[in-house]
Chains A and B, each alone.
Chain A
């Protein structure tokens, strides 16, 4: 693999994470809506909402990662695909707005009628977004996005047989992944009723996704022959086989109620499909343009690679922490009170400090004015800014306790 192709690997990894994590959030929103009324339906809804809560935002940043790395490392190809696929991407964007807003609003509501409406909006957007993003990928995969500023057809680039198939597949994957994860979460909580509910859903959605994948091969055969050929007889074949095995393994694990390993096999089955697409399509990015040709100059690729790897060093431990806390039940609203720690009463700041703090703050302000406003040199400006921030911090420490404790209750 060349340096020119390395960022594409990052992009695809980001896409895989987005699909297996963010996709499951969309799936959860679908299940939240697609349950009956009554007490059991309510519990399923709450379970789907709560399981997603702590991880929702983080899962969706993967999409931003995908976009930013693509436009940094493959700028002209990004400009081409974003302009031609603008309608599909705009629809996906609207779906993301609605899903995110619904998520934010839901936490402020307790009225069942309001929640019902919010969940409905959420479910519509949760179908729309994966479909539109999948359809956009279908446009890329079937070679309908030419190089240039909106040079492709704004509609048929994403509403064509391949796109519709991949869009539908994306929706099915989201529902499938969510059902498996939610069954596993329910099993962790030891809620047999919820486990049964999501077990059935996982098996059903898995069967639908599998059947859709097979039917899709027919579509690809007719509509995107090169991709089809590479997928069933070329570079993509190993990934396809992995996906089939992982899918069957998930089925078996879910049947036997072994949900924790099923999380990973389900994710692997979906990830392998993304990998299969990439392997089948490579080295072509857009018609007549390979990934290598689309890549930015050497220095840009080096800095991007360094930035991504450096970011990953910080990111992955944080993500592991988040998921360990979430899956270990350390996050979420307490169902019982935590034992209250012994209360230590202390004053906010030392009694003698305020007068001194006031004088330091005044000195900082004066120094800041002299160095930032009167002086001309860059280094003076830098120190001046630090002094002014010092004024704010010290001034805060000197002001707040007096104002909080200075007045009698009224």
Chain B
């Protein structure tokens, strides 16, 4: 199936925009800032709640003190998540008005429901954070349950929209306009949704788990290792250690779905220039001129992984016109980084689980804690690389094989100015967040009461 970029889907007419790349980078920047915060929105509330529950169950004030401290970090990150998320929703119109104008009716429902989800999350975070001193333990823990649930439904909605962009359905295109729209079908009747959702949801737990555990690993390396540090390390580490091996299986599932629905993306992330039977994979290397140079090749492996058949035919980049291919090296390098980091994280997790089963202890080696301290930032790198794979791998399309990015963009000028401004503001916000996290970490631990 080949399309030409001339099949334009557009409600507002054709566009000329010389700064398309900056518009995409501005969107990417906004996204890269927001998505790690989303991970904390998904996973942190449950970790805080588990800690609080442990405190009430055992009557041990240490658990409650940790839960309380974490909840302050949670609300600070949530506030920053609210504003960076608001910016993303602004950009849907500011940067991509033709996309929203043409397909708002198809995918918009997802964001509308996500808005409600966000709403409930904000309401109950307010109740939870400000209810520590005033609500009964049971009521307080109950107020956290909607936060955990809306963390899931919110990501379900946003991923449903993204899955639709990657695997569009639920409408017909007549003279550039979407007609015969079935929003529910488009968003939730999409086979592509489920692997993306599970992959991202797990990533939320892995990133949050390793980042939080990594912070206490740094404390241990600096010689602070009491009951407080150990407890605050064990809970997030255990979650990340269990989730990261599972992520390998889920990632493999995701790749098989991509192979089926987006063969060009698969070809880009494996650097497969020509369609072939028994296609190999390459580890490392550089894609040039239709093949991977300097990579370590494993024959037939791609066919096995993607189709469970060593001789299966895998579609290469040559199946589509050159202007319909994504930038291969960006996508491929990010893919390799994600898989490489993911494998290391799974290994780290496996070590923790092995020692738990064999000897019921945490690892004692110093190098393990160096690894754990690195795992936090590395997991964020893997997360962002994964999203680059999905989003840049979809290029040049905003709606896969329906609408090119170049026709979704705004016709307004001044994108470079906006992009530069956003960088400055986000750098300032980033500095502010680092500052407040250090401040919160240095505050005396509120064991007992406040």
Q: Could you say which of A35-43, A224-232, A270-278, A401-409 contacts chain B? A: A401-409
Report A-chain residues with C-beta under 8 Å of the C-beta of B179. 297
Q: Which A residues from 352 to 396 make CB contacts under 8 A with B?
A: 358, 365, 368-369, 372-373, 376, 378, 381-382, 385, 388, 391-392, 395-396
Q: Are B181 and A296 in contact (CB under 8 A)?
A: yes
Q: Which of these, A307, A381, A391, contacts B113 with CB under 8 Å?
A: A307
Residue of B nearest to A354 (CB): B360
Q: Are B246 and A368 in contact (CB under 8 A)?
A: yes
Roughly how many angstroms separate A282 CA and B244 CA in the complex, as a whole number?
Answer: 55
Q: Which residues 115-168 of B have a CB within 8 angstroms of A?
A: 115-116, 118-120, 122-127, 129-131, 133-135, 137, 146
Stretch at the interface among B94-102, B289-297, B321-329, B389-397: B94-102
Stretch from B230-238, B334-342, B379-387 at the A interface: B230-238
Whether B105 and A296, one on each chain, are in contact in the complex, defined by CB atoms closer than 8 angstroms, is yes
CB contacts (< 8 Å) of A64 on chain B: these are 85-86, 89, 115, 118
Residue in A58, A109, A344, A407 whose beta carbon sits within 8 Å of that of B59 in the complex: A344
Q: How far is the CA of A151 from the CA of B98 in the complex (A)?
A: 12
Find A97's partner among B137, B230, B253, B425 (CB 8 Å cutoff): B425
Q: Is B449 part of the binding interface, using a Cβ–Cβ cutoff of 8 Å?
A: yes
Instruction: Select B13's contact among A84, A148, A329, A358, beta carbons within 8 Å.
Output: A148
Contacts A86-B410, A108-B439: A300 and B15 contacting too (C-beta < 8 A)? no
Q: Give Cα A395–Cα B239 distance, bound, in whole angstroms.
A: 9
Check B181 against A299 for contact (C-beta < 8 Å): yes
Q: Does B252 sit within 8 A of A, measured CB to CB? A: yes
Cβ of B423 under 8 Å from chain A: no
Contact B97 A150 (CB under 8 A): yes
Please tell me if the beta carbons of A57 and B126 are within 8 angstroms of each other in the complex. Answer: yes
Q: Which residues of B contact A307 (CB under 8 A)?
A: 109, 112-113, 116
- Evaluate whether A82 and B94 lie within 8 angstroms (CB atoms) in the complex, with A58-B122, A75-B100, A331-B126 already known: yes
Contacts of A321 in B (CB 8 A): 123, 127
- The yes or no answer to A68 lying at the interface (CB within 8 A) is yes
Q: A82-B93, A154-B413 are in contact. Are A60 and B100 (CB under 8 A)?
A: no
Contact of B58 among A73, A89, A348, A369 (CB under 8 A): A348
A211 at interface (Cβ–Cβ under 8 A)? no
Given A97-B84, A410-B225: A376 and B101 interface contact (C-beta under 8 Å): no
B274 in the interface, Cβ–Cβ < 8 Å? no
| Most chain A CB atoms below 10 A, which of B90, B239, B428 | B90
Pick the contact of A311: B113, B250, B426, B432 (CB < 8 A). Answer: B113
A300 touches B183 (CB 8 A): yes
**Dominant SS among interface residues on chain A:** helix
Flag if B243 contacts A372 (CB, 8 Å): no
A341 within 8 A of B: yes
Contacts A79-B12, A107-B72, A403-B360 given; does A154 touch B414 at CB 8 Å: yes
Q: Which residue of A lies closest to B435 (CB)?
A: A105
Q: Does B310 contact A (CB under 8 A)?
A: no
Contact A300 B101 (CB under 8 A): no
Residue A255 is within 8 A (CB to CB) of chain B in the complex: no
Indicate if the CB atoms of B239 and A54 lie closer than 8 Å.
no
- Measured CB to CB, the closest approach of chain B to A310, in angstroms, equals 8
7 intermolecular pairs with C-beta atoms under 8 Å apart = A80-B12, A151-B411, A297-B181, A311-B119, A338-B133, A372-B253, A409-B227
Q: Which B positions have Cβ atoms within 8 angstroms of A?
A: 11-13, 15, 54, 57-60, 72, 75-80, 82-87, 89-90, 92-94, 97-106, 108-109, 111-116, 118-120, 122-127, 129-131, 133-135, 137, 146, 179-184, 191, 194, 198, 205, 225-227, 230-231, 234-235, 238-239, 241-243, 245-246, 249-250, 252-253, 308, 353, 356-357, 360-362, 410-414, 418, 421, 425-426, 428-429, 432-433, 435-436, 439-440, 449-450
Which 3 pairs of residues, A with B, have the shortest CB-CB distance? A82-B93, A72-B108, A79-B101
